[in-house]
Amino acid sequence: MATYILALDQGTTSSRAILFDRNGHPVARAQRELTQHFPQSGWVEHDPLEIWHSQLDTLHQALASVGASPRDIAAIGIANQRETSLVWERATGKPLAPAIVWQDRRTAAHCAQLQAEGHEEQVRRRTGLLLDPYFSATKLAWLLDAIPHGRERAQAGELAAGTIDSWLIWKLSDGARHVTDATNASRTLLLDIDTGQWDPAMLALFDIPLPCLPQVVPSGTRGEPIALATALGHPVPITGVAGDQQAALFGQTCFVPGMAKNTYGTGCFVLMQTGDRRIHSSNRLLTTIASHTQERRYALEGSVFVGGAVVQWLRDGLGMIERAEDVEALAASVPDHGDVHVVPAFAGLGSPHWDPYARGAIVGLSRGSTRAHIARAALESIAFQSAELLQAMQADVGHPLTELRVDGGASANNLLMQFQSDLLGVPVVRPRCTETTALGAAYLAGLSAGYWESTGELAGNWQVDRVFEPAMSRDEAGGRLHTWARAVERSRGWTR
């Protein structure tokens, strides 16, 4: 009898494989870093073959670490970095260019042109997103322009395009399946999020030929698997797929409308479950598909492009700390931020500003400022950006948040979590298992494979590690947020 669910978590900076048991406990894990390529200012690329090989290696490593084989896997679930786009040749399976990563800004001018032509309103209505280089459509258009005869070949069905989920499923199934799920498809600017189908008006607007796109399939429903992973020697069903942020919402068991989570990874992504109600944001947040199991569920999302990555920058860019976890001690070595603010707009600003031309800024420096103040301000920037998202979200839904569930690497930082709670004025709740992205993919896969029976059973697995209660006065929090907004203003439009 197969004993585990295998989750593949293909993220921006690493590929991971985790085996989960029936209690939702991770029993084995393996991880490989992914090379980041920055060929020009504002460009970010990944090698699709490195993504595939790193994912396959971690899968085998995780199995080997507990003496298991593919026969011991009941089902595979996949969670992946979203929006990152690539094109490959169907006949050979060869990628025709590097994958363009979600952080890449090269299509800013294309987006600005479409905005100037007045397309944003219909884009928002149909896709729930807005015109920003973050999303896949302009990246795919750029790739089809760059590949010789790209559009004709795509139209003729010779090329396959997609996000990382499609690519991994294609490789795992030895080229048998070219599919995606609704959560990933809802990040492309090409999906009508009311019908869950590719939208002909959006395909025309971005000039993307339908024959190159994957089929959109449900994920996490009983019945036929999404694909069979034949590349593992023994065929294992792939029964769950979700974009990593939607997977984290599922892994945090935020099934009831109003529940919200924030994942502190490379970026920060706040998602609030809104059930079968699609909420139109008046505050420049995104409406996205949270899951599509039996029915389609929606979420409101705020996306911050540089969250935990600001700590990597302190480590690798400034050489200020040796290990990421050292930031907490350095930041705590000063009593406060000393009026310093770091705005990590390295890849422009996401929600709610949507400014691809913004760049990073450090403001408020005085002769007394030290590297500890900069470290503290960098850490605080993660909480400030997240607080802006939650303010916008509460304004959109018209009621206050009761708690925020947190996960991702930087959620281990107690100083940051306390400051987050102080700014928000609500409890910040960290679960015992912070591998919620992989767990969400495992849950989706395990529900369809009959490994778990119901979402109620999954919610019962969720356990609290620590609750951070707000300790700052609302006046002080308001003042801090006001000063932060002034710092953000200084970073805006820098490269325009």
| Binding footprint of ligand G3P on the chain (CB under 6 A) | 11-12, 81-83, 102, 243-245, 265-267
- The residues that bridge with 291 in the sheet, in sequence order, are 297
Q: How far is the CB of 309 from ligand G3P (least distance, A)?
A: 8
Dump the DSSP string for 434-452: --HHHHHHHHHHHHHTTSS
At residue 138, the 3 state secondary structure works out as: helix
Q: How far is the CB of 482 from ligand G3P (least distance, A)?
A: 29
CA distance 433 to 439: 9
Q: How far is the CB of 79 from ligand G3P (least distance, A)?
A: 9
Q: Where are the alpha helices (DSSP H) in 349-454?
A: 371-397, 414-424, 436-448
Say how many C-beta atoms besides its own lie within 10 A of residue 15's C-beta.
27
Tell the smallest beta-carbon distance from residue 450 to ligand G3P (Å). 28
| Cβ(179)–Cβ(166) below 8 Å | yes
The nearer residue to ligand G3P, 80 or 461, going by C-beta atoms, is 80
Give counts: helices (H), strands (E), the chain. Answer: 16, 23
Which is closer to ligand G3P, CB of 253 or CB of 262?
Answer: 262
Residue 468 CB, shortest distance to ligand G3P, in Å, is 22
CA dihedral (411, 416, 418, 421) positive or negative: negative
H or E stretch covering 481: helix 474-491
Of residues 101 and 228, the one with the C-beta less far from ligand G3P: 101
Closest CA to 266 of 331, 311, 302: 311
- Least separation in angstroms between residue 14's CB and ligand G3P is 9
- Nearer Cβ to ligand G3P (15/420): 15
Q: Residue 302, exposed/middle/buried by CB under 10 A (0-12, 13-18, 19+)?
A: buried
How near is the Cβ of 267 to ligand G3P at its closest, in Å?
A: 5
| 32 CA to centre of own chain | 18
CB of 239 to ligand G3P, least distance (A): 21
Cα–Cα dist 262/303, whole Å = 10
Spell out the residues 6+ positions from residue 162 whose beta carbon is closer than 8 angstroms to its own. Answer: 85, 86, 170, 178, 180, 213, 214
User: DSSP secondary structure string, 8-76?
Assistant: EEE-SSEEEEEEE-TTS-EEEEEEEE---B--STT--EE-HHHHHHHHHHHHHHHHHHTT--GGGEEEE
Contact 55, 67 (CB under 8 A): no
Select 52 or 452, whichever has its Cβ closest to ligand G3P: 52
Least Å distance, CB 31 to ligand G3P, is 13
Decide whether 32 or 151 has the Cβ nearer to ligand G3P: 32
Which of residues 48 and 150 has its CB atom nearest to ligand G3P in the complex? Answer: 48
Minimum distance from residue 242 beta carbon to ligand G3P (Å): 10
Residue among 261 and 337 whose Cβ is closer to ligand G3P: 261
Tell me the DSSP string of 139-155.
HHHHHHHHSTTHHHHHH
Task: Find residue 342's DSSP bridge partners.
Answer: 362
Residue 83 or 104: the one with the smaller Cβ distance to ligand G3P is 83
Q: Closer to ligand G3P at the Cβ: 263 or 420?
A: 263
Nearest residue to 251 (alpha-carbon basis) of 269, 238, 236: 269
Strands 73-80 and 236-243: parallel
Smallest distance, Å, CB 9 to ligand G3P?
A: 8
Nearer to ligand G3P by Cβ, of 187 and 430: the residue is 187
